Structure 1
Amino acid sequence: MDAEKDYNLLSEIMHNANIGWWKADIQDANYIYYGPIASLLGLEEGSCISFENFNKRILREEQPHTTIRSFDNIQQTNETVYLLDTVKGPTWVRSKICMQKTDENGKTKIYGIAEIQDAPYMSSATQMLRQREQLLHNIYKHLPVGIEVYNTDGVLTDLNDKELEMFHLQRKEDLLGINIFDNPIFPKEMKEKLKKYEDADFTFRYDFSKVGSYYNPQTRTGTIDLVTKVTTLYDENHTPANYLLINADKTETTVAYNKIQEFESFFELIGNYAKVGYAHYDLLTRQGDAQHSWYINIGEQEGTPLSRIIGVYRHIHPEDRRAMLGFLNNAAKGMEDKFNKEVRVLREDGSHTWTHVNLIVKTYAPERNSVELICINYDITRLKATEAMLIDAKEKAEESDRLKSAFLANMSHEIRTPLNAIIGFSSLLPHIEDAEERNHYISLINHNNELLLNIINDVLDLSKIEAGHIELSPVWCNLSDLIDESCTECQPNVPEGVTLKKRYPATPNLIKQDPMRIKQVLSNLISNALKNTVQGYVEISYETTPSETRISVSDTGRGIPEEKLGIIFERFEKADAFIQGAGLGLPICRSIMEHMNGTIEVTSTVNKGSTFTVVFPCQVRPME
């Protein structure tokens, strides 16, 4: 065969296939090109180009030296694809090293072929496959989950770097060859699923203290929480070939979840203690969730769907409900975004509590079918009670201030009246020679002395009682005797035409109570009746039960108008302003009864008379 003809034929074939060959001289740092590539570079056949000049012509390197990867070994193949600046413009070239030789002068020569590509991405099928293998290798190596591959006997044949890290190993050789069915920690039910080639997902805690002799980790303490997916890999004949296990360490997720749960429990505890509730609701999707205290604060059963509460508010007072529904309607239209109001919550027992409601539109996006609402409420019933108490205390302070002014005005008038009489008549006595007239003036002076003394005594008694200085000294006493003594003392003040009457039970009893305070009440009630009665009678009666005593003082006097019945026991209040007295007698009676845990009441008809009744608890026994 003619070698020259064969060479020419081979050159023609390579030229038609757009393939040339090249030789690289390592010592001289240059390439010698033959065939179509030499033409593209503007070189004559067999001409040289330096490494430096050639590299300057590379516009883009599409594929660096590729790798063919088995999971145990990496082998380099010197093949690359690059975009070359040629006389015909940018051209894609695929170049591959074929062999290396050393000549008789000791120079190293590298030989290869270069193929002109039809398009930028027309690399060979082999190169694309190698690209995919490299990508798969990178994924396998750097995937942030652990991967284990077992054969159908359960023997571990491969694992990735993440698996080494998770199970505290330095080399995969320390684990290869172990059998998954011997794993003391792997759940038994999962082993059964593997044997049946069933896929499964499960979660379990991997405890390194239970590894035993299964393998030798660097640490035998601590745990990790794993999410494991088990699947079977099949060959082209659909025959089971391998088990694949994917392990994800969810320890940090578990810790974070536990912290969230702990925070939610803590927030729930604080919310329940502080009576603060929170809810999240979408007005358009009608979906949401709420905290325990939120339900309580608006009187709803926990777990009730929010769509049956928000927009219904059946436990909210109708007046407050209208305001809340108006806001929700405006919020859905984008007209309002905040609501703040104290509302009344109707309870099942008929009572009501107070809740402060805050509604906030967090997201208004009807185009995405979302109007997100944040609902925060807190129980302010105690605050409302405190507010009411403060208002009441303020009103009482104002009333006390008013009463103090009234007290000074009344005392000024009441004390000045008898005092003027005493001073006036006393100054006349030295000039009166008639004995009868003198005696009359002395009688008037004594009468006004008595009035002044009574006023001062009443003021002192009321002051002591309201300051809490009153002390009760219960002893056994005869109530009939106390009434007799009081009537005797009041007899000089009985007007003409008025009879002072007494009515006692058929069988009198002894009672145990403070006789001085009872007599004080009797004297004030009898004195009050005599001042308001000009004809008829004043009658004192009493009756006892085993545990209490009832005393009544009735008269046929002018009576008390109905509008005055509610204030007659207040200080300085009198049915008739022209009647003598400071208006302290009845308030003193009420204060004494309150200290005895008793009551005082009045019934009256104008121009027909009045009846005052006191009732107080006491011990009762028959008289011996």
Structure 2
Amino acid sequence: MNKQKDSIFFSKLMNAANMGWWKADLTTSNYECSEYVSELLGLDDSGIISFEDFNKRILKEEQRPTTVHSFSERQTSEVVYLLDTVKGAVWVRSKVCFQETDKEGHTNVYGIAELQEAPNMTSAYQALQHSERILHNIYKHLPVGIELYNKDGILIDLNDKELEMFHLDKKEDLLGLNIFKNPMFPEEMKERLRRNEDADFTFRYDFSKIGSYYKNSKKEGTIDLVTKVTTLYDDEGNPINYLLINADKTETTIAYNKIQEFEEFFELVGDYAKVGYAHLNLLTGEGYAQKSWYRNIGEADGTPLSDIFGIYRHLHPDDRNCMAQFFEDARNGLTAKLSKEVRVLRDNGEYTWTHVNLLVRKYTPQDKIIELISINYDITELKKTEEMLVKARDKAEASDRLKSAFLANMSHEIRTPLNAIVGFSALLATTENMAEKELCNSLISHNNELLLNLINDVLDLSKLESGHLELHPNWFNLAELLDESVAEYTRQLPAGVELQTHYPEQGFLVELDRLRIKQILNNFLSNALKNTTSGYVEVFYEIDSSYVRIGVRDTGRGIPQNMLEKIFERFEKVDSFTQGAGLGLSICKSIVDKMNGRIWADSQLGIGTTFMVELPCLVTPIDA
């Protein structure tokens, strides 16, 4: 044959075979089609159709939808289209044969198109029938019960095993039942089904409780079911069916329930004793832990163990470093166990204590196994008890020391004024000089006052210790009370010291215990006058809507900074040679604490000291 005859022959052959050729010009995005394809698509004599227009003819496609780049390098070699043609909707198989690029860089792709009644319809139908028969046999003879419901919960099918399990003669006895009205189906599972949530659960099916839901030949007895509930969806993701798979697992369920009971019991014991358990493969990060184990180390339940072991983000930095070193050594086979008390940071910013025990149970890194067992338990209460015992011991020891110090101080402080009283009383009896008698009387009176004050301090201290000190608040003029104390101490002023007052312009009434306020102020004044040899001592107060501040400022020798806190403790004195038992400020602090206030001192050596109390109280101004 010559070329022309060949062309005519192959054209007739392709037409008779319902085939044609096409050329895709990637530069112009157009197809050039043979006569057969042009007639099929209804093209003009040029046989030209754009990629875009051709894509509009596609009604369905076995591969992904075609785009204007269908014949780029990404195009599949063969695809079947359902095309809109002059003959109506027909199936066409299109196949790429080869590709050419000319000297100017234009690329053309060549292929053939074949008309089909349908894409392998006969073989596909036969295969579908065969698959359906296999699926039917599986469905019918599967050794578990299957129930199929529509989206409204209506039973539309079930298999033979389901009939056998529930003692039914034919499926028609159950079709049409609504699962949401099933008295045996757990309410929780119904809710999950409505939310299209998958679920697995075990329950005991009691035939005596079926009632009128359906009729069966078995009126009594139970079976233990393991049931899986799942939702089926269409291609667009819409729920269309509910599928239930039931397995009669009476023996398995009993064993499973025993395991569950044991786990619950173990959890209960763990929660009660605050003991937690976990195991982990250090190399894979796989493992399990109890809730109490997570809680003991400050982690959220369910956190992956691989995010905890070796990291321990909630531990104190010192403890975390120690744990990290253990895990590094455990991976290298250098250690096998650790027992340590660690501090755990909680959400409230406080630390609790947990005792951690770690044990490498199996070390076979060649098999990718380093099995680690962890048992921890909360020892916070134990630590608190231990701390309380230490404090109690220290307090007992301190109490013993204080008792000795108290006796020593009291012996000295009582003896001093008592000796003076006895001595000057004897001298008073023998002297005839009036001036000496007056001096003796004055010294005796002064030492009587010192001894009385000392005894009063001891009594107040005793009341505070036993908790019997009572407060009796009442309204009084604060300035008048301060002036009263100032007047009492004016006669005790050392030479060269001035006693001053500084009050707000307006007077105020306050509701406080008048006697205890005066006691505090007298202590402040007494201390100031003992330690001030020149300058002044000033009494002042400040008023707020809900509290009052009362203070005494002096220009005395001052208090060292390291003594500012200690001076409010018993028997503490800046100068051990200064007269007094060192109880006054301690008593003042106890009184202020009982009033829910605060007491403090500011001082600089050589410049002076200020003692202040701040007390919450009711305040009202005095009308001028």
Residue 576 of structure 1 and its aligned partner are, at CA, apart by 1.4
Unmatched 5+ residue regions in structure 1? 1-145, 149-153, 160-165, 169-174, 190-201, 229-246
Query: Structure 1 residues 619, 515: closer, same or farther in 2, change over 3 A?
Result: same
Residue 482 (structure 1) aligns with: 481
Residue 459 (structure 2) aligns with: 460
Residue 522 (structure 2) aligns with: 523
| Structure 1 counterpart SS, 2:419 | helix
Whole-angstrom distance in 2 between the partners of 1:215 and 1:542? 94
Residue 538 (structure 2) aligns with: 539
* Structure 1 stretch displaced more, 389-398 or 564-573: 389-398
Residue 508 of structure 1 and its aligned partner are, at CA, apart by 0.5
| Structure 2 counterpart SS, 1:610 | strand
Residue 384 (structure 1) aligns with: 383
Whole-angstrom distance in 2 between the partners of 1:546 and 1:312? 52
Amino acid at match of 2:360: V
Aligned 8 A contact 1:569 1:586 in 2: yes
Residue 289 (structure 2) aligns with: 290
The reply to whether residue 303 of structure 1 matches residue 299 of structure 2 is: no
Whole-angstrom distance in 1 between the partners of 2:619 and 2:315? 53
Whole-angstrom distance in 2 between the partners of 1:350 and 1:449? 56
Whole-angstrom distance in 2 between the partners of 1:553 and 1:248? 88
Q: Would you say how many aligned residue pairs link Structure 1 and Structure 2?
A: 430
Whole-angstrom distance in 2 between the partners of 1:155 and 1:349? 58
| Structure 2 counterpart SS, 1:568 | helix
Aligned 8 A contact 2:555 2:608 in 1: yes
Whole-angstrom distance in 2 between the partners of 1:484 and 1:381? 54
Aligned 8 A contact 1:185 1:207 in 2: no
The reply to whether residue 402 of structure 1 matches residue 401 of structure 2 is: yes
Aligned 8 A contact 1:226 1:251 in 2: yes
Residue 250 (structure 1) aligns with: 249
Residue 262 of structure 1 and its aligned partner are, at CA, apart by 3.5
Aligned 8 A contact 2:276 2:375 in 1: yes
Aligned 8 A contact 1:475 1:515 in 2: yes
Residue 526 of structure 1 and its aligned partner are, at CA, apart by 0.9
Amino acid at match of 2:336: D
Residue 367 of structure 1 and its aligned partner are, at CA, apart by 5.6
Residue 322 of structure 1 and its aligned partner are, at CA, apart by 2.8
Aligned 8 A contact 1:533 1:555 in 2: yes
Aligned 8 A contact 1:155 1:180 in 2: no
Residue 216 of structure 1 and its aligned partner are, at CA, apart by 5.8
Amino acid at match of 1:292: K
Aligned 8 A contact 2:144 2:247 in 1: no
Residue 271 of structure 1 and its aligned partner are, at CA, apart by 3.2
Residue 614 (structure 1) aligns with: 613
Aligned 8 A contact 1:206 1:224 in 2: yes
Whole-angstrom distance in 2 between the partners of 1:593 and 1:206? 72
Residue 593 of structure 1 and its aligned partner are, at CA, apart by 1.0
Residue 341 (structure 1) aligns with: 340
Residue 236 (structure 2) aligns with: none
Query: Structure 1 residues 615, 188: closer, same or farther in 2, change over 3 A?
Result: closer
Residue 428 (structure 2) aligns with: 429
Whole-angstrom distance in 1 between the partners of 2:395 and 2:406? 15
Query: Structure 1 residues 508, 211: closer, same or farther in 2, change over 3 A?
Result: closer
Residue 471 (structure 1) aligns with: 470
* Structure 1 stretch displaced more, 511-520 or 481-490: 481-490
Percent identical = 59
Aligned 8 A contact 1:283 1:370 in 2: yes
Whole-angstrom distance in 2 between the partners of 1:167 and 1:286? 42
Amino acid at match of 1:592: I
Residue 53 (structure 1) aligns with: none
Residue 155 of structure 1 and its aligned partner are, at CA, apart by 13
Aligned 8 A contact 2:597 2:616 in 1: yes
Residue 532 of structure 1 and its aligned partner are, at CA, apart by 0.9
Residue 411 (structure 2) aligns with: 412
Alignment of 1:150-229 (within 5 A): 181=171, 208-209=207-208, 220-225=219-224
Residue 449 (structure 1) aligns with: 448
Aligned 8 A contact 1:601 1:613 in 2: yes
Q: Deviations over 1:394-421 (max 9, x none)?
A: 3233222222211111111111111122
| Structure 2 counterpart SS, 1:493 | coil
* Structure 1 stretch displaced more, 394-403 or 450-459: 394-403
Whole-angstrom distance in 1 between the partners of 2:171 and 2:621? 98
Residue 167 of structure 1 and its aligned partner are, at CA, apart by 8.5
Amino acid at match of 1:271: G
Whole-angstrom distance in 1 between the partners of 2:335 and 2:560? 56
Whole-angstrom distance in 2 between the partners of 1:205 and 1:543? 78
Whole-angstrom distance in 2 between the partners of 1:558 and 1:591? 26
| Structure 1 counterpart SS, 2:306 | helix
Whole-angstrom distance in 2 between the partners of 1:283 and 1:310? 8
Whole-angstrom distance in 2 between the partners of 1:206 and 1:467? 69
Residue 574 (structure 1) aligns with: 573
| Structure 1 counterpart SS, 2:313 | coil
Aligned 8 A contact 1:184 1:211 in 2: no
Query: Structure 1 residues 306, 203: closer, same or farther in 2, change over 3 A?
Result: closer
Unmatched 5+ residue regions in structure 2? 1-142, 146-157, 180-200, 228-245
Q: Deviations over 1:39-89 (max 9, x none)?
A: xxxxxxxxxxxxxxxxxxxxxxxxxxxxxxxxxxxxxxxxxxxxxxxxxxx
Query: Structure 1 residues 206, 501: closer, same or farther in 2, change over 3 A?
Result: closer
Aligned 8 A contact 1:550 1:614 in 2: yes
Amino acid at match of 2:280: Y
Q: Deviations over 1:68-114 (max 9, x none)?
A: xxxxxxxxxxxxxxxxxxxxxxxxxxxxxxxxxxxxxxxxxxxxxxx
Whole-angstrom distance in 2 between the partners of 1:399 and 1:458? 20
Whole-angstrom distance in 1 between the partners of 2:144 and 2:491? 116
Residue 358 (structure 2) aligns with: 359
Amino acid at match of 1:255: I
Aligned 8 A contact 2:537 2:553 in 1: yes
Aligned 8 A contact 1:473 1:514 in 2: yes
Query: Structure 1 residues 435, 349: closer, same or farther in 2, change over 3 A?
Result: closer
Query: Structure 1 residues 186, 279: closer, same or farther in 2, change over 3 A?
Result: farther
| Structure 1 counterpart SS, 2:451 | helix
Aligned 8 A contact 1:298 1:345 in 2: yes
In the superposition, the TM-score normalised over structure 2's length comes to 0.61
Residue 500 (structure 2) aligns with: 501
| Structure 1 counterpart SS, 2:436 | helix
Query: Structure 1 residues 282, 580: closer, same or farther in 2, change over 3 A?
Result: same
Residue 506 of structure 1 and its aligned partner are, at CA, apart by 1.1
Aligned 8 A contact 1:155 1:179 in 2: no
* Structure 1 stretch displaced more, 418-427 or 475-484: 418-427
Query: Structure 1 residues 267, 622: closer, same or farther in 2, change over 3 A?
Result: same
